[in-house]
Amino acid sequence: MHTTHTIALPNRPPLILGQRALVMGILNVTPDSFSDGGQHNLIENAVAHAQAMIADGADIIDIGGESTRPGAALVSVQEELDRVMPVIDALVAAGITTPISIDSYKPLVADQAIQAGASIINDVHGLQGAPEMAEIAALHSVPVIAMHWDKVRDEAKPIIAEMARYFETTLALAKAVGVGRERIILDPGFGFGKSLAENYEVLRELTEVQPRGMPILVGTSRKSMIGRLLDIPADERLAGTIATTVAGYLKGGHIFRVHDVRANRDALRVAQATLYGPPTELG
């Protein structure tokens, strides 16, 4: 049912993707996220939050300094660096060995973050925002999460086919600088330029995300595809999020980017036992 993949990371054991789903914990370091008083406090709180997510079973920590929400205020490179870099340094200083992904479409931010200890690029522009992004991935030999976000797409065209064309471009840009597809994780980009119906269509047809057989990340946590359906605010969307996580797993998803690590991980373990039986060792 799940395709299996071993994705090399620099200075770390590889990511093993397959029947055991990986959980990526979201660590937002925007001023509105951990801001009950100054920069020092923000860093301490961010590290504590990362440690709590790791204790809850996070396999990857995704750190982002710009709220990527469609329509959100843009943040300068310097501002994003100022937010993200002290936190990465503090995570490394705290001895955290859980792989860190950098949620940024800015090549300079990705480059600095990797030099400081991040080992995965999470690019919501799918390597199509800046030509240097693929080069940064090549330079550091890191994997890339390539998310679909096509701001100029023809909304009359079927989403799955449009996404396939988009990812063809992503893979070609990567290949041109020597980043093979064994280093790329596809992400359909839930909530990014898609209608409510399209978001659910993509979740339903997750195995049809092209090229088929590549690893897939699902990022639905607390998103409007849940909130609009149920008419509830972000802080009440956990049950809906878990439904999308389990649905995405049953449809072949490999990595789940979530705010609520423990609840989603528990649900994924139960879903895994349902598909494959309980793990023989620790799974």
- Asked if 119 and 7 touch (Cβ cutoff 8 Å), the reply is no
260 counts as binding ligand 7PM under rule CB under 6 A: no
Residue with CB nearest ligand 7PM?
Answer: 219
Shortest CB 162 distance to ligand 7PM, Å: 17
Interior angle at CA 96, CA 90 and CA 271, nearest 5: 130
Alpha-carbon distances, residue 10 vs 14, 92, 138, 252 (angstroms): 8, 15, 12, 26
189 counts as binding ligand 7PM under rule CB under 6 A: yes
68 counts as binding ligand 7PM under rule CB under 6 A: yes
191 counts as binding ligand 7PM under rule CB under 6 A: yes
237 counts as binding ligand 7PM under rule CB under 6 A: no
Shortest CB 68 distance to ligand 7PM, Å: 4
Task: Name the residues annotated as catalytic.
Answer: 223, 257
Report the amino acid identity of residue 259.
H
Closest CA to 106 of 64, 168, 169: 64
Instruction: Quote the CA–CA distance of 93 and 191 in Å, as a whole number.
Output: 35
26 counts as binding ligand 7PM under rule CB under 6 A: yes
Q: Crossing angle, helix 77-93 and helix 107-116, to 10 degrees?
A: 20
Could you check whether the bond before residue 158 is cis, i.e. omega within 30 degrees of 0? no
Instruction: Quote the CA–CA distance of 146 and 170 in Å, as a whole number.
Output: 7
Residue from 30, 104, 112, 122 binding ligand 7PM (CB under 6 A):
122
Residue from 217, 226, 242, 246 binding ligand 7PM (CB under 6 A):
217
**Strand ranges, E, within 228-272:** 255-258
Shortest CB 277 distance to ligand 7PM, Å: 30
Residue from 145, 173, 174, 206 binding ligand 7PM (CB under 6 A):
145
Shortest CB 104 distance to ligand 7PM, Å: 10
Alpha-carbon distances, residue 78 vs 29, 30, 139, 147, 258 (angstroms): 14, 13, 22, 23, 27
216 counts as binding ligand 7PM under rule CB under 6 A: no
N residues, the chain: 283
Q: Which is nearer to ligand 7PM, 224 or 276 (CB)?
A: 224
Q: Which is nearer to ligand 7PM, 70 or 279 (CB)?
A: 70
Instruction: Quote the CA–CA distance of 223 and 110 in Å, as a whole number.
Output: 25
Site string for ligand 7PM, 169-188 (x = CB under 6 A): ------------------x-
For residue 281, with 0-12 CB atoms within 10 Å meaning exposed, 13-18 middle and 19 or more buried, which class applies? exposed
194 counts as binding ligand 7PM under rule CB under 6 A: no
Residue from 257, 267, 271, 272 binding ligand 7PM (CB under 6 A):
257
Q: Which is nearer to ligand 7PM, 35 or 40 (CB)?
A: 35
Shortest CB 95 distance to ligand 7PM, Å: 26
The residues that touch ligand 7PM, with contacts defined as CB under 6 A, are 26, 68-69, 103, 122, 124, 145, 147, 187, 189-191, 217, 219, 221, 223, 257
